[in-house]
Chains A and B, each alone.
Chain A
Amino acid sequence: MLEKIFFFLCFPSVLAEMLCQPDAPEGFNVRLSIKTALGEEAYEWNRNEKFFFQAAIAYAMSIHLKQEFSVSDVLVCNETPRVSFWFVVTSPANPLLLIDKANVEMAVRKSRNRINSALLLSDTTMEFVGALPTLAAPFIPATPPWLIVFGVVIGLIAAGIVFLLVSTVVQKKRKKNQKTDEEDDDEEERVKTVENRNRSDGVYNASFSDDEPNTQM
């Protein structure tokens, strides 16, 4: 009897060892580069961090398969100083049944952002070997930003051109008006000179006189 109890107590850990192995068909190899990601503030990989990871994976599985997964359903093994390890996920209903790789992958991809931020890592510093990379779709704004800059620049240029053309036209009109005023002045002056000649207002210039007594030698 005691042997049976002993056997059942040891069974889960033995089972875990059997289910979770390096190169397990339904398992994933995970590589963490904590020092690369955090530098001075790197935390040490210990049991608590491992627990956090398992919880995050359980969370992802719960969301994807809409079943309740718990931390004990995520089995981690073969930890190395790298820090890297293998993990498999067992079904909550049946601890002997492993969730297939495709589902685990989908779950991780869906919640990758949350798993990353839980461990303060990123897509490059926490690598799920063999999983398709999560492609962060580049943010495409409604109007391309370059059109906005273009609009501003072309607006300024158009305003400048209009301003310069209008100011040139206005200047030319002013010059024309000035010219017509001055031409009127000119005409008046010319008229005056004609009048002057008639009135002979000027001083008589004797140098061209025909006065013979003055020029006789």
Chain B
Amino acid sequence: MGESKDSVAEERPKWDNKVQYLLTCIGFAVGIGNVWRFPYLCQIYGGGAFLIPYLIALVFEGLPLLYLELAIGQRIRKSSIGVWTSISPMLGGVGIASMVVSFLVAMFYNTIIAWVLWYFFNSFQNPLPWSQCPLNESKTAFNTECEKSTPVNYFWYRETLNITPDIESSGSLQWWMVLCLATAWSVIYICFIKGIESFGKAVYVTATFPYLVLTIFLIRGLTLPGATDGLVYLFTPDWEILKKPQVWLDAATQIFFSLSVAFGGLISFSSYNAERNDCERDAIVVGITNSATSLYASIPIFSILGFKATTAFNNCRQENILTLTNRFDISDQNITLENYDKWFNYLNLTHPGDMSTLPLKVCDLQNFLDQSASGTGLAFIIFTEAVLEMPGSQVWAILFFVMLFSLGLSSMFGNIEGVITPLRELKLVPKWVPHEVLSGVVCLLSFLIGLIFTLGSGNYWVEVFNGYVGSVPLLIVAFFEIIGVIYVHGIKKFSEDIYFMTGRKPNIYWKACWMVISPTMLLVVLIAYVAIQATKYPTYPAWNPDYELFPETEMKPYPDWVFGIIVLLIVMPVISIPLVGLYNLIRCRIKKSSVKASPNPYNNEAFEIETEEQRKQRV
């Protein structure tokens, strides 16, 4: 009787309800990239026209991959390593690759969350610290670095990162960043302490809160002056741009990375489901929600960017008005924004000589709208600058950073899940180690290694990881996933699995995508991506105050040892695929009896043993 109670404790954990599962998957897919990458891509690739390659990529690449992962996880009921080993021991490397990529991505992603936390902590003061330059040491003038650039830039590069001029000078550990990173990992630990029981509850907040904040920002953003300029700029389609292949490549990569496939987290999540669950509907819901969130987020982002551009444009014109008023001693407020053009023409006619000597700026709204950025530049420079102009800046800053924090946290859950559960299945961790200790050790280890990103050169390293770890290895893993399920496991077997789970076989659309369209797209994207990266020697933008063109960033090439590390980062996750395949191939050949596989509810090898023995008897 006692034994059955032990087996109850080993039973796979379950979701409390379907909503929790869907929210976790949506939270994993919807991340900071939906807010700071998609609107930027929309803007530089001709606004509304970008939606076409984006939706095509979603339908033919994103949704099939998502459905595949959710289905295979739900059927085989193991995490990434278990699933691939079950399909074929030679594919076990795919699971290990997923785990390694999840681990590496978790490390640098949490650094971004640490930056968000730093800005959050600093938003509780009046005036906001990025609104003004500090004084220099002799207190006679403002700090030179800040004067040359802007207070917002200075706060990001100097007071947050304390960045070194290039990646080779590592600088020292920035203690305030270490504290923020420790806070970030502590939050992850407290959410993961009991596994699915704890983060399953946390996800109710972290997955829904961003939508609340986005709605608040939408309402606030649309009421700001200049919002419509920003939105028009965003959505005006430029159909010509669809002829560029780069657009299609970026759309495909954006969908792929946005959905967080190939991390192994989605497989783990769906393995906690009931056996007969409609995973087709789940996949469609998650995929469409992810893209809809990207679109929904771009509206407030671009309203606020439009507002920022309009404010900058008006400030530019006000400066010109002041110059004219002072030069010609015209009564204060006689020249306004409305009658500026009339006055300008009048003064040009009456005092042409004086007008030509005046340092009048050229104020062009399009120019200001063109100044956009993605990634950390959008969140920590452009948006923080926009927030300064909004009344009640502290509230908006706090809301924004809490939103980024919950977006990042729900994505981290998927990453960490893709590390911890496969570790258990690899049987590297003895069973008596409780979940609390294992997650604590993983968090502590990640924190210690992640201290690299709190050095002076930390931001450069985050860019290295972001650009190389989170791109090519994932594409390779996804390609092997789809080949593994469709060709090694077999499309017939897979269709039967789906029939068992959902009650209907996959229709021609799914089959066509899985067998032909998605692998081809993945292969093309992978080759194109590698080709483009390989043609130019990789460079990075460095913040160097001694640069002649400062405050522009200096483009420096990566030194050779960094290049070596980049290659290592790409190869390290992916090398496990061929290595495990070779290892199992050799083992199969050496030992003629079947491989001692872990007890697998899906494949009972007892019959194989008997048939082989029978064959020997016959012989």
Contact = CB atoms under 8 A, between A and B. Distances in A.
Interface in B133-147: 134-135, 139-142
Interface in A147-188: 147-150, 153-154, 157-158, 160-161, 164-165, 168, 179, 182-183, 186
Contact of B1 (A157, A161, A186): A186
Contacts of A104: none
B134 A138 contact: yes
A152 to B, nearest CB: 9
B333 A36 contact: yes
A82 B329 contact: yes
B610 interface: no
A130 interface: no
Interface string B176-197: 1001101100110110011000
A135 B139 CA distance: 8
Interface of A: 31-36, 80-84, 132, 135, 137-138, 145-150, 153-154, 157-158, 160-161, 164-165, 168, 179, 182-183, 186
A82 B118 CA distance: 46
- What 8 pairs across the A-B complex have the smallest Cβ distances? A146-B121, A35-B333, A80-B329, A82-B329, A145-B125, A149-B121, A81-B331, A157-B186
24 contacts: A34-B332, A35-B332, A36-B332, A81-B331, A82-B325, A82-B329, A82-B332, A83-B331, A135-B142, A145-B125, A146-B121, A146-B124, A148-B124, A150-B183, A153-B117, A153-B183, A160-B190, A161-B189, A161-B193, A164-B436, A165-B193, A168-B194, A168-B434, A186-B2
Nearest to A33: B332
Contacts of B329: 80-82, 84
Nearest to A149: B121
A18 B333 CA distance: 32
Interface string B316-330: 000000000110011
A157 B132 CA distance: 32
Contacts of B139: 135, 137
B124 A149 contact: yes
A150 B175 CA distance: 13
Given A31-B326, A146-B124, A164 B142 contact: no
B198 A138 contact: no
Given A82-B330, A83-B332, A164 B183 contact: no
Contact of B436 (A31, A138, A154, A165): A165
Q: Give chain A's interface secondary structure class.
A: helix
Contacts of B1: 186
Contacts of B134: 138
A161 B198 contact: no
Contacts of A161: 186, 189-190, 193
Nearest to B183: A154
Contacts of B120: 149
B122 interface: yes
Contacts, number: 87
Contacts of A186: 1-2
B244 interface: no
Contacts of B427: none
A81 B330 contact: yes
Contacts of A138: 127, 132, 134-135
B431 interface: no
B190 A157 contact: yes
Interface residues of B, number: 39
Given A135-B135, A135-B139, A164-B190, A82 B124 contact: no
A146 B187 contact: no
A132 B329 CA distance: 22
Contacts of A31: 326
A121 B107 CA distance: 52
B12 interface: no
B5 interface: yes
A147 B121 CA distance: 8
Nearest to A125: B332
A82 B122 CA distance: 41
Chain B CB count within 10 A is highest, among A35, A36, A150, for A150
B5 A179 contact: yes
Contacts of A81: 329-331
Nearest to B328: A82
Interface string B201-225: 0000000000000000000000000
Contacts of A132: 140
A188 B180 CA distance: 57
A31 B2 CA distance: 91
Contacts of A147: 121
A23 to B, nearest CB: 14
Contacts of A83: 331-332
B436 A168 contact: yes
B2 A150 contact: no
Given A32-B332, A137-B139, A161-B189, A82 B179 contact: no
A44 to B, nearest CB: 11
A165 B1 CA distance: 29
Contacts of B125: 145-146
A29 to B, nearest CB: 9
A165 B125 CA distance: 34
Contacts of B333: 33, 35-36
B358 to A, nearest CB: 16
Contacts of A158: 186
A39 to B, nearest CB: 9
Contacts of A183: 2
A179 B1 CA distance: 11
A41 B176 CA distance: 47
A137 B124 contact: no
